Amino acid sequence: MIRRAEPKDAPRISALLKQVLEVHAAVRPDMYRSGTQKYSEADVIKLLADPDCVLFVETDETDRTVGYAICFVHEIRDDGIIVGRRELYIDDLCVDECERKSGVGKRLFAHVKAYAKENGFDWITLNVWNDNVNALAFYRKMGLTERKTILEYRID
């Protein structure tokens, strides 16, 4: 079942955030420290109260969170050069490593997409590391395409 996250989900979301960080640390050890995480359990609780954050969880039959999507509302103002729009930015989408390839991610993304459509968003956006080939393949399968490319040159 997919639903809006509640404070009771924060410990499990926090545990899944550690899994996400380890994926990032594996593909970009020059940028991410293994053993850390993006948001603490307390941070997750704060996000639940943030009006610009939408957090969905998929739970199993015991109400245990097996995946989540943390999304933020981005309002881009029309300034004469940039066309105004509303974007729902997926900050994080995670499926428990034991549940991957079971359809959880697909269902979560479909839920985010339906929410965006129902709430008048123009775009869904997200960032993904090029070396995270599994995530790239997943998002491409969901119909996402590249909007821009950020290039880097490492100074040794």
- Longest Cα–Cα distance of the chain, Å, equals 51
43: containing domain: 2-141
In a domain, 110, yes or no: yes
Q: What is the pTM of this model?
A: 0.92
pLDDT score, position 113: 98
Distance of CA 25 to the CA centre of its chain: 16
Residue 47 included in any domain: yes
Task: Specify if 42 maps to a domain.
Answer: yes
Strand partners, 41: none
Give domain status of residue 154, yes or no.
no
- The CATH number of whichever domain residue 23 belongs to comes to 3.40.630.30
Q: Is 8 helix (H, G, I), strand (E, B) or coil?
A: helix
49 φ, ψ to 5°?
Answer: -95, -5
Looking at residue 98, its pLDDT comes to 86
Output the six-digit token pair for 84.
């105004």
pLDDT, one tens digit per residue, over 7-30 is 999 999 999 999 999 999 999 999
Domain count, the chain: 1
Average pLDDT over residues 102-106: 93
| pLDDT reported for residue 91 | 97
CA atoms lying within 13 Å on the CB side of residue 101: 2
- Give residues with Cβ within 8 angstroms of 82, minimum separation 6: 76
Q: Is residue 153 included in any domain, yes or no?
A: no
How far apart, in whole angstroms, are the C-alpha atoms of residue 76 and residue 83? 8
Q: Is 101 left (phi over 0), alpha (psi -120 to 50) or beta?
A: left
Check residue 102 and give left, alpha or beta (phi > 0: left; psi -120 to 50: alpha). Answer: alpha
Measured between alpha carbons, how far is 75 from 86 in angstroms, rounded to an integer? 5
pLDDT at 89 over 90: yes
